[in-house]
Amino acid sequence: MSLMEANAFAFSLATSLMVSIVIFRAGDGTLAVMPADEYDGDPSEIVGEIDPHAS
């Protein structure tokens, strides 16, 4: 998934679920998204975070 697709998917998830979503680089180099509270990987692999509660 491209960075643009990952950002769009993360924003959609964040606004639907109303939770923070992280965009991270997986072990094979691809980008993925998941809820921030479920991410237990290397913090240096996080590319971005979408927080629906941020102003």
Query: What are the sequence ranges of the domains in the chain?
Result: 3-50
- Asked whether the beta carbons of 39 and 46 are under 8 A apart, the reply is yes
pLDDT of res. 55: 63
pLDDT digits (tens, 9 = 90+) for 8-46: 999 999 999 999 999 999 989 999 999 999 999 999 999
Strand ranges of the sheet holding 31-35, from the earlier edge strand across to the other edge: 31-35, 21-25, 46-50
pLDDT of res. 54: 87
Residue 18: exposed, middle, or buried by beta-carbon count in 10 A (0-12, 13-18, 19+)?
exposed
In angstroms and rounded to an integer, the radius of gyration of the C-alpha atoms of the chain is: 10
pLDDT bucket at 1, cuts 50 / 70 / 90: confident
